[in-house]
Each structure stands twice: as structure tokens, then as C-alpha cells.
Amino acid sequence: GQQVMQIPQYQHVQEGEDFTTYCNSSTTLSNIQWYKQRPGGHPVFLIQLVKSGEVKKQKRLTFQFGEAKKNSSLHITATQTTDVGTYFCGGGGATNKLIFGTGTLLAVQP
């Protein structure tokens, strides 16, 4: 069945450094969503990408959807302590379900 792999599982950065997490799907996706879960919190929707090669920005966050619609990335420029948490991607495919990646836990040292 459809699988979505996410790497890295964990990343520790110094405040001000950049951060990137990657999602790779075994099948072509119809769309991809990104969620953020703060420590002790629940996942909260960040953004959705639908088109091949799409790039969207939210302040210091840049989201990309690959040309083949099988991979995606989230890049944070100049991390801040408020960026800490787990970032999940969720891929939509042939079913009405989202298949979530395993998540990347970001730790930011001040």
C-alpha cells in the first residue's frame, strides 16, 4: 500500500540555523499537507500543496512539492525557538485518507 517516509526523524539546530525535512511517497500523490505539533500539543494544519512543482511560502517557511508529485520538503530559514515541535507531512492518494509520514522532531537550541 501507499507509504510516506519522512526524514530526518530528529534534528537539533542552533537558533538561526536553517532546517529542512523531506517526505517521500511510494506512489504519486494528489496533494500533500503539512502539520506542526508543538510539544505537548496536537497537530495543527500549516499548508497544502496540490500542483506539480508548487512552492509556497509562509514567512520563514518554504514548502515545495516535487515535479513528479512523489516528494515534498519543508525548509525553515533562520530557526527560532518558537519553531520547536514535530513536523508531519500527509499525502493524499487514491483513497480519501491522508497517509502521514513519521514526523521530524525539531529541537532549537537558543
Partner 1 sequence: DVKVTQSSRYLVKRTGEKVFLECVQDMDHENMFWYRQDPGLGLRLIYFSYDVKMKEKGDIPEGYSVSREKKERFSLILESASTNQTSMYLCASRIRASPSYEQYFGPGTRLTVT
Catalog residues that contact partner 1 under the rule CB under 8 A: 1, 6, 9, 30-31, 33, 35, 41-45, 48, 50, 88, 90-93, 95-98, 100-103
Pairing of strands 31-37, 44-49: antiparallel
* Smallest gap from residue 81 Cβ to partner 1 (A): 22
SS3 91: strand
**Nearer to partner 1 by C-beta: 15 or 45?**
45
- Phi first, then psi: give them for residue 83, nearest 5 degrees: -85, -10
**What is the closest distance, in whole angstroms, from the C-beta atom of residue 40 to partner 1 in the complex?**
9
